[in-house]
Amino acid sequence: MLIESIIFSDDLTAGNGNSAQPASENSGFVQGYTILPHDENLVQFWKRGFYNSRSDQFCIALRSVVFENSFYAGPDKLAGQIGPLLFSANYFTPGGSPLIFILISQDVNGKNRISDEELLDNLKQVFEFLGFDKFYYYFIHESRGQILSTNNNAEILVYHQSQVQEDIASWYYNKLNTVPTAIDLIIAFSSLPANEIYEKLNAGEHQFKEDHFIMWQMLEKKVGLLDKLKAAEILKEGLKREIQSQEDYLSNLHIHETTQKKIGDFYHYEYEILPAWYKRLGHIIKVIMGKRSFRSLFDDNVKKYKD
């Protein structure tokens, strides 16, 4: 598929953890998992995530209840539980930074059980604890699949089984017909197996290619260019760090405490400040002692020192 997709089809908290298998190798999509960090299946999940196929990407969604007072034990505890997942080389990191979903649940009056500000503040503390400079988040209405808040400017389509009547293949085909170049990522929430969802999305895109080939080509070009841009941005960030690192090392050459500076100071105070006649006398003494050639006192082109 041209457009990247994240598919949530399994729920560890529903007791399906042991049956949740990472997608097959090179599946082409990002497997989404909804987790509660204190779930006993989490250890099994870690093991699968780290020991199984290296090429498959995954990402996680946390239910907002995780941050409610009765569950939330502070950023360090939560970071300790989800940190190993976020550190996995398989974790989905668009542009080099991890992306996380928070599924927002509401009380009987339709109000969020925890404010967005508090939620975001807690989330920032977790990522800061883990040492990330940057992360992407999506706050999503748990039952409607609606994006409530995000810090990512990518154009995203959300498919939520409970909100869309038509088959996902037709839904995707229709979206492509409307705004083909304005889709960067698809997020699907469904009870169907992830592979099946992916096949359906693939079928929708294939139909679009057949019906609107030129548009499809434009889309392909756009996706290719965006991939190059992302790679360049990662490289740029790496080079910026490299420059900063080199500057840090170089600045060390000019500070008082360094060996280099001490040698420079020693040379200056022990030799450089002496009067010129004294230095010349010193050269003559070197000739007398046999340490320097006589001719070198008058000719810069001859060998100066004997050893």
Partner 1 sequence: MSLLVIAHIYYSSNWEYLFDRLLNLNKYQCTYIFNLVNLQYDKKPILESISKNFPAAIVLNCSNHGRDIGGKLAGIDLSLKLNIPSDFTLIIHDKQSPHASTGLNWRNELFRIIENNELPTIFSIFEKNAKAGVIGSKKFLMTEYDFSTQRFKSFSEEILNKLIVEMNLKITNHQFIAGNVFWVRSAIIRNFFSKFSPLQIRAKLEHGNALDFHKGTQIHSWERIFSWLANIYDYEIVGI
Q: Rule CB under 8 A: which residues touch partner 1?
A: 43, 46-47, 50-51, 54, 76, 79-80, 83-84, 87-91, 93, 96-97, 129-133, 231, 234-235, 237-238, 241, 244-246, 248-249, 252, 255, 257-258
CB of 74 to partner 1, least distance (A): 11
Q: Which DSSP state fits 113? A: S
Complete DSSP assignment for 266-278: HHIIIIITS-HHH
Of 243 and 284, CB closest to partner 1: 243
Of 38 and 280, CB closest to partner 1: 38
- In whole angstroms, what is the distance from residue 6 CA to residue 154 CA? 14
Of 257 and 300, CB closest to partner 1: 257
CB of 122 to partner 1, least distance (A): 15
Q: Where in 130-285 does DSSP place strands (E)?
A: 136-141, 147-150, 156-160, 185-189
CB of 45 to partner 1, least distance (A): 11
CB of 257 to partner 1, least distance (A): 5
Question: How many CB atoms are located within 10 Å of the residue 69 CB?
Answer: 7
Of 12 and 219, CB closest to partner 1: 12
Beta bridge partners of 147: 140
Q: In sequence order, what are the residues at sequence separation of 6 or more whose Cβ sits closer than 8 angstroms to the Cβ of residue 123? A: 67, 100, 102, 135, 137
Of 135 and 189, CB closest to partner 1: 135
- Strand 185-189's sheet: what is its strand order? 147-150, 136-141, 99-104, 58-63, 30-35, 4-11, 185-189, 156-160
CB of 59 to partner 1, least distance (A): 13
CB of 249 to partner 1, least distance (A): 5
- In whole angstroms, what is the distance from residue 157 CA to residue 147 CA? 9
Q: In sequence order, what are the residues at sequence separation of 6 or more whose Cβ sits closer than 8 angstroms to the Cβ of residue 145? A: 158, 159, 160, 162, 163, 187, 189
Of 241 and 280, CB closest to partner 1: 241
Q: Which two tokens stand for residue 281?
A: 């006398």
Of 133 and 307, CB closest to partner 1: 133
- In whole angstroms, what is the distance from residue 31 CA to residue 56 CA? 8
Q: Which two tokens stand for residue 197?
A: 């969802």
Of 248 and 270, CB closest to partner 1: 248
CB of 198 to partner 1, least distance (A): 23
CB of 53 to partner 1, least distance (A): 10
